[in-house]
């Protein structure tokens, strides 16, 4: 067995959350008179947390106060609409069952707000993971390694036996900063070409392929 612990990103890796993110962003933008963003724009904007998503979605001349207003409205709207169109990528649940059967410790580490992470993980993956952690005020977001390091400590695993799986350049950098291996998935919010440009060392195109690299 290559690894004892698999840590997963959430959005774009386990769940396709893009439509719900786009809808809540555009609802918040419209509330304050700003133009909407396309789904592809939102895809490119995600990865560094919700606050950065809102900053990127707003016109460049917006004030800090305007950004905060839109952010707060987005959070309120998304809380009630975070699973309207969200779905699990094909093959993810059988993969998690297989990893669990092989006694791999499974954690989920996301830059999404922790409250949303907990709701979505319970709804879609209840019983299939050991721990899940989203963004919190006192912990630096990815690509800082803080959340990953904290989860490894809680799961009592070593760096050489842990792998981080994600769909973006943020995840690649996070794994590097944490000193652990990284596997990038090409079914999420970044294409194979984008991952290659981000210097991904290992890219997979299916959960089955990913499973074979972990076990």
- Extract the tokens encoding 109: 């580490």
Task: Please report which confidence band the pLDDT of residue 1 belongs to, taking 50, 70 and 90 as the band edges.
Answer: low
Burial of 75 (0-12, 13-18, 19+ CB in 10 A): middle
Decide: 14 and 125 in contact? Cβ < 8 Å. Answer: yes
- Look over the chain and give the mean of its residue pLDDT values, rounded to a whole number: 96
The answer to whether the Cα torsion of 118, 75, 92, 44 is positive or negative is: negative
pLDDT at 64: 93
Residue range 4-30, pLDDT digits in tens? 999 999 999 999 999 999 999 999 999
Q: Alpha-carbon distance 154 to 164, whole Å?
A: 15
Who wins on pLDDT, 148 or 47?
148
* CA atoms of 99 and 212, how far apart (whole Å): 10
Distance CA 3, CA 31 (A): 47
3 SS3 class: coil
Cα–Cα distance between 205 and 44 in angstroms, integer? 19
Q: What distance in Å separates the CA atoms of residue 141 and residue 69, rounded to the nearest whole number? A: 21
d(CA 111, CA 12): 12
Rounded CA gap, 44 and 136, in Å?
23
């Amino acid at each position: 067995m290559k690894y004892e612990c698999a840590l997963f990103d959430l959005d774009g890796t386990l769940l396709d959350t893009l439509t719900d993110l786009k809808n809540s962003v555009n609802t918040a933008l419209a509330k304050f008179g700003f133009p909407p963003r396309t789904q592809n724009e939102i895809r490119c904007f995600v990865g560094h947390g919700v606050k950065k998503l809102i900053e990127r979605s707003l016109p460049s001349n917006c004030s800090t106060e305007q950004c905060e207003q839109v952010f707060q409205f987005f959070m309120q709207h998304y809380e009630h609409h975070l699973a309207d169109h969200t779905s699990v990528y094909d093959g993810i649940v059988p993969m998690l069952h297989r990893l669990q059967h092989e006694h791999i410790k499974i954690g989920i580490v996301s830059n999404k707000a922790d409250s949303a992470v907990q709701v979505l993980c319970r709804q879609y993956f209840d019983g299939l993971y050991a721990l899940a952690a989203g963004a919190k005020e006192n912990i630096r977001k990815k690509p800082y390694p803080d959340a990953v390091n904290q989860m490894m400590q809680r799961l009592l695993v070593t760096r050489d036996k842990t792998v981080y799986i994600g769909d973006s350049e943020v995840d690649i950098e996070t794994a590097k900063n944490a000193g652990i291996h990284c596997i990038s998935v090409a079914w999420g919010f970044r294409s194979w070409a984008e991952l290659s440009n981000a210097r991904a060392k290992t890219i997979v195109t299916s959960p089955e392929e990913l499973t074979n690299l972990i076990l």
